[in-house]
Amino acid sequence: MSTYTTDVPVRFRDIDAMGHVNNAVYATYLEQARTDYFRDVLSADLSGVATVLASVSIQFRRPVELEDGAVSVEVDVPELGESSVPMTYEIRTGGDVVAEAESVQVAVDEEGSSRPIPEEYREAIETYHGL
């Protein structure tokens, strides 16, 4: 079973008045990790990937600061639904887990209704994660 990891820089604009990364920015880190995952694991043309984010949940463990420089986001897909792709994440700095998250993406058609995950994506996900 493989997890996908990508690094996302901590930017000055991510920092709030408390001197650490604002909690809303973590969702952006997850979005960047998903984008990189679709590009690298699925070799997907991002302009043609039709998914919607159905849910996201983040548990914060410790603050991230500008001095951390970057976060590593580990992405795993523990299972696949007919149209849904559940993902789990660990956000790390210096090897420490600073946040954990879960999300569900749903494949949609042109009208925005759920549809089966395209077979080429399903096969790539199953192969990469050993499902």
Whole-number Å distance between alpha carbons of 50 and 4: 21
Q: What is the pLDDT of residues 47-95, one digit of tens each?
A: 677 899 999 999 999 999 999 999 999 999 999 999 999 999 999 999 9
> Residue 87 in contact with residue 77, Cβ under 8 Å?
yes
Q: What is the pLDDT of residues 15-36, one digit of tens each?
A: 999 999 999 999 999 999 999 9
CA nearest neighbour of 28 among 42, 46, 48, 9: 9
pTM for this entry? 0.92
Q: State the distance between the two ends of the chain, measured CA to CA, in whole angstroms.
A: 8
Query: What architecture does CATH give domain 4-129?
Result: Roll (3.10)
**Domain layout of the chain by residue ranges:** 4-129
The contacts of residue 88 (CB under 8 Å, 6+ apart) are 75, 76, 77, 78, 100, 101, 102
